[in-house]
Chains A and B, each alone.
Chain A
Amino acid sequence: MKKILAIVVLTGLLILLLSSFLEMPVLGSIENPSYNDTTHYYLDNAVEDTNAPNVIAAIITDYRAFDTVGETVVLFTAIAAAASVLRVLHDDSNKEKVKH
């Protein structure tokens, strides 16, 4: 019963998603609205601005480096959360204290 209800609802969701996706610009078209001025700026000026040929490296570590700081903080938070949930005690130095 639960499965039939889920299948009906998700078929409706699939039809909704497909009817939206089929109205999008054609896959791989250069007139795609996402290929806009920002992209042209990055492709034209990344080598002069940062001296790195790899544009993606220039974006993630120079133009949007603050975003990457957030990513590393997310990784740090994830590992801190996992270690605190599992509550592993590391007594490497024979001291009775909890790291992390």
Chain B
Amino acid sequence: MSILKSIIEHINYVASAILFVIGLYTVLTHSNLLKKVIGINIIETSIFLFFVSVGYVTGGRAPIVEASGNHVYVNPLPSALILTGIVVAVSITAYALSLIIKLYEAYGTLDMDEIMEARSGQTNE
């Protein structure tokens, strides 16, 4: 029972671990390049969820300070830092997609295995 209670108390962290593993499974087992990019995006989402969950406070308000009242605010620092992560995620996705477009123009397929076969066939002959 104690482990069940522990899981409920850390439910966001558990979800981020599961999302990380799902993303890594997608990257490792699929040979389609677009699906690999989708897997990388799932991993990034899990990291964002983990980081923002660290800063959450139960009953806390969004960190917009009001003059009246004595409120509890959530931690603003992880939310501010994860903006950098989101920007880097967008940049990586854009660059990967442009590389995939050039690969499709060069080889006519998005499948990693077929591309590697075509490359090895060229080099052996």
Do chains A and B make direct contact within the complex (CB under 8 angstroms)?
yes
Binding site for B on A (CB under 8 A): 2-3, 6-7, 10-11, 13-14, 17-18, 21-22, 24, 26-30, 32, 34-35, 38-39, 42-43, 46-47, 53-56, 59-60, 64, 67, 70-71, 74-75, 77-79, 81-82, 85-86
Beyond A39-B75, A43-B65, A54-B64, whether A17 also contacts B94 by CB under 8 A is no
The reply to whether A78 and B25 form a contact with Cβ atoms under 8 Å apart is: no
Looking at chain B, what size class is its interface with the partner chain?
35 or more
| 15 extra interface residue pairs, beta carbon distance < 8 Å, beyond A43-B76, A55-B65, A78-B91 | A3-B29, A18-B17, A27-B58, A29-B57, A32-B57, A42-B77, A53-B65, A54-B63, A55-B64, A56-B80, A71-B84, A74-B91, A78-B92, A78-B94, A81-B98
The reply to whether B17 and A59 form a contact with Cβ atoms under 8 Å apart is: no
Binding site for A on B (CB under 8 A): 3, 6-7, 9-14, 16-18, 20-21, 24-25, 28-29, 53-60, 63-66, 72-73, 75-80, 83-84, 87-88, 90-92, 94-95, 97-99, 101-102
